Chains A and B, each alone.
Chain A
Amino acid sequence: MSHQRFASHEVKEPHSVSLKVLRLSRPSLVPQFPLQPPVIPQSLSSPIAGPAPAVLPQPRHLPPLPASLAYSPLGPTKKHGEEAQEAESARGERTRDGYYNTEPFILSPIVNLPPSFGSAYVGETFSCTLCANHNAPPIGENGTSGVKKTIRDVKIEAEMQTPSRQSTKLVLVDTAGDDNAGSSNIDNDSVTTSNAGSSEDNHNASESQAQTETETLVTLDLLPPHTTLQKILNFGLREEGTHVLGVTVSYYEATETSGRTRAFRKMYQFICKPSLIVRTKAGPLTSLPVPGKAGKKRRRWVLEAQLENCSEDAILLEKVKLAEVQRGLKWRDCNWAGIGATTTGEEGKGISQQGKVQGQGPPRRPFLHPGESEQLCFIIEEKGQEEEEDPVEVEEKDGRIEFGVMALAWRTEMGNRGSLLTLKLGTKHLKPR
């Protein structure tokens, strides 16, 4: 995180529990730069001799040097000297078997954890893992602790202070994700232990199995040495500006003779930036005559919007629609989604017909590099009588008609999601032409 500071507390003795955090943005695909293996002339192995140029073997297109790939294409190698032979023999057939690297393409299917905090943008979900670790001193190292300490009742609490000075208590969950913020179980403190320190698992064949079934300690709240209580928070970033994540860790530290509750607090500060700027403009369109009712017309408007990517990453627009549309109005999507397929939901029902004719699958979603913008357009009109049994008059406030809000959803690298709702959009009532 960009900034962290420690709150002071009265206890001088170092804490037995420490807190570590990592922002869980999406993992990223690891790039690779495959190299062709060198063709080495015969003369290289022998002492270099003679002016005669070395004879090169007939060139072949060989698989790339394994070391230049993002991960090793072979199965685990034997530990005692067999691997050289195996690697040789495997170069032909076995490498291709069960081998899913995309070389020589730059992107490989293996992923890296987020290397840094990155940038936080309005509309994204901020996921972060909080790890409370029991840092027992290594045996025999620390002079002061002949005393064995037991740590239990470890609790992590977190709250986010937003620029509008609101402090939100965050629900800590077990899983990162976009949609489960605020939902699901609150306190499910099952502590898993690693088998570090305990007897090593000798059965390598079933090791993956053995590890997924790490036993859950029945003594619920105990945090054994060198273990971690991991929690994850998901927070929808809605405001621009400085956010402060405050995390409080409390625990009960017991020695054989005494015990006490201790706590500490850490603050993490980061800036949330806007990623999409939305500018809108509404104007009147010619009204449509209502069939059968001479003189009565249905009013129409056009709502234009310009979306500008003001972030540092490319943005793929996924969805754009009008929501909370005023009763008595209907809208038509004139953008990419409206062309390829009908909009879902009642708002768009029945209007976007034209797109279907064009066929050829859904058109490409707009992809905006930093600084690029995209122009959007919606047509809004009053519902006709044939569509509404009980026609509602379009409500006007101070000569202003509110259409609704615009809902935007986008994705960035590795599918990271973002979404925004605009304020109520509308127009001054203008006399139909």
Chain B
Amino acid sequence: MDQEASSQHPKGHQRTRSAVKATRPRSSTKGPLDVDDTPLASLLLPPQQQTNQQPSSAQAEQQHTVIPGGHGHQPKTPVPGSPLLPQSPAAHSPAPSHSRRQLPPLSLSPAGGPSLLSTSPGPSSGAPYGRVAPRPQLDFSHLLRPGIYHELTPLNVPPPFRQSAKQPSASTPIPDLLASGHFRAAAVAAAQALTGANGAPAPDPVDHALILSLFYVRLACLTLIDATALATQEVKALEDLNATFYIDEAGHNLIPWELRVLAVRLQAISFADQRRAVMSYYDLAREARLRLAEAASKHDNSEEHLWRERLNDLGVRVAGVLVEMDDLKGAVEHLASLKESDNGGGKMQMARALLWLHLGDVDAARKCVKPAEGSEGPSNDMTERIMNALCDMADGKYPEALNQWEELSKVSDDEMVGVNRGVCLLYVGRLQEGQNLLESLVDSGRTSHTLLFNLTTMYELCTERSRTLKVQLTEKVAALEPTSFGWEKTNVDFKL
């Protein structure tokens, strides 16, 4: 797998090491025609890198002229008119030479265009030269441009939510918004914080932790409010996540892990190429392995645990992509190769069984959750009982399945058990009971998309006036206290 990943992404990690030294101060006026480098540059740059950099500097210069930063708060720097023009010694001022350090890595596609990592002059004033690392602050202003972020329409939110007193105020801090499930508000707030639109100043372009964290909040929230399509647009602002630009002195990626994981999915959607996601997950997995080995060699247990968990997580996500690609056979093989994580509690077993069920092989699904041979009699293993009930539904034995869900609901208040039982009731001709059951789940504070979808489907079946019932349901759900499960729903959730 490593081989595959590396062959696909020749740039990402090979660049890593050289990136440490990719910070040569160069004259902004250096053009491709200037063959002789300054002595300083040749000192700082490994020879190979130096020659590599040569053609790209012209590229960078061009970008520079096309996009002159555009951030008013940044110190004004002399902007060279053309890479070919400036031969004047005056242009060799120290200020632009700082800014040169933020050159995008070579690996970034030249065709990727001007929108790519802006080569605008960084805030040379605040550059901490007293620090140990010679690497200067990176400029993340390419994520601060208001043009990246789309307007979110509230029109797809049912009025009872829009007009509710539970809508958060504009000044609610983002962590609170997330905790109370106001994801649309959080997405808006994150974009405002990034662009400085809400009165507060935009983040310092060098504060990558804050910027990337806000960016993740933005994208994550978009996917939670049925706006994944927008997220796939906005993620493009990051460009190549494995670019040298994002690699720090230690060779680690500055982008938070969760954002990198999410970006894989969003990019695959925007390129309409799921295979790309498989590849990218493998790429991340390779890095996780390296970090895991690093942590092990340092005997850093918590770090080791972290990377092990992340590696497990990626493994399961790869299976998920294969399912999305409809490569179910591949997904089966892949899942079979994964180990149960330490605190999995039969999760992997269940995942395999669900995959078989999705594929249609009910017998194989049942076998997955069968206890080891020898233990006969009624099973208490919940995983097995849940799977058996699902398998009965897949076999078309709805009355049997219903019995099992009813038994399960006596020992578990899991939302899934309730919803599946309600669905079963419809299949055995007890629509109204099913509807009552699902309504009681809403009353008890459950509001998953699945629950609302099933309930509104039942509304559509049981009356001509389903719209009235749906609107009443929106009012009921809007009246619930906001929780981290997400409070505001969209019209789609109620099939409105």
* A binding-site residues for B, Cβ under 8 Å: 18, 20, 22, 24, 26-27, 29-31, 33, 35-41, 43-45, 47-48, 50-56, 58-61, 65-72, 74-81, 83-84, 87, 96, 98-113, 115, 125, 129, 131, 133, 135, 138, 173-179, 192-196, 204, 207-208, 211-212, 214, 226-228, 230-232, 314-316, 365, 367, 369, 410-417
Contact = CB atoms under 8 A, between A and B. Distances in A.
B429 interface: yes
Contacts of B481: 77, 79-81, 83
A44 B213 contact: yes
A416 B360 contact: yes
A58 B220 contact: no
B181 interface: yes
Contact of B207 (A24, A54, A125, A194): A54
Interface string B205-243: 011111001101100100110000000000000000000
B358 interface: yes
Main secondary structure, interface of A, reads loop
A376 B343 CA distance: 44
A195 B484 contact: no
Interface string B416-456: 10011001001111111101110010001111111101100
Main secondary structure of the interface of B (DSSP, over half): helix
Contacts, number: 349
24 contacts: A20-B460, A20-B464, A40-B217, A41-B209, A44-B193, A48-B203, A50-B204, A61-B306, A67-B224, A67-B484, A68-B220, A71-B419, A72-B415, A96-B345, A100-B383, A101-B416, A104-B320, A110-B420, A111-B390, A175-B428, A211-B436, A214-B436, A226-B463, A314-B360
B294 interface: no
Contact of B206 (A53, A96, A416): A53
Given A65-B220, A84-B179, A110-B420, A99 B360 contact: no
Interface stretch (B61-69, B106-114, B309-317): B309-317
Interface in B402-420: 406, 409, 412-416, 419-420
Interface of B: 123, 126, 137, 173-175, 178-181, 183, 193, 200-201, 203-204, 206-210, 213-214, 216-217, 220, 223-224, 256-258, 261-262, 265, 302, 305-306, 309-310, 313, 316-317, 319-321, 323-324, 326, 328-329, 343, 345, 347, 350-351, 354-355, 357-362, 382-383, 386-387, 390-391, 393-399, 406, 409, 412-416, 419-420, 423, 426-433, 435-437, 440, 444-451, 453-454, 457-458, 460-465, 468, 480-481, 483-486
A39 B207 contact: no
A20 B457 CA distance: 11
B445 A232 contact: no
B316 A412 contact: no
Given A84-B179, A367-B328, A414 B360 contact: yes
B428 A192 contact: no
Nearest to B126: A51
A53 B207 contact: yes
Contacts of B173: 44-45
Contacts of A72: 415, 446-448, 485
B461 A129 contact: yes
Contacts of A133: 462-464
Contacts of B216: 38
A53 B209 contact: yes
Contact of B357 (A56, A99, A415): A415
A232 B428 CA distance: 8
Given A72-B448, A110-B420, A415-B391, A35 B399 contact: no
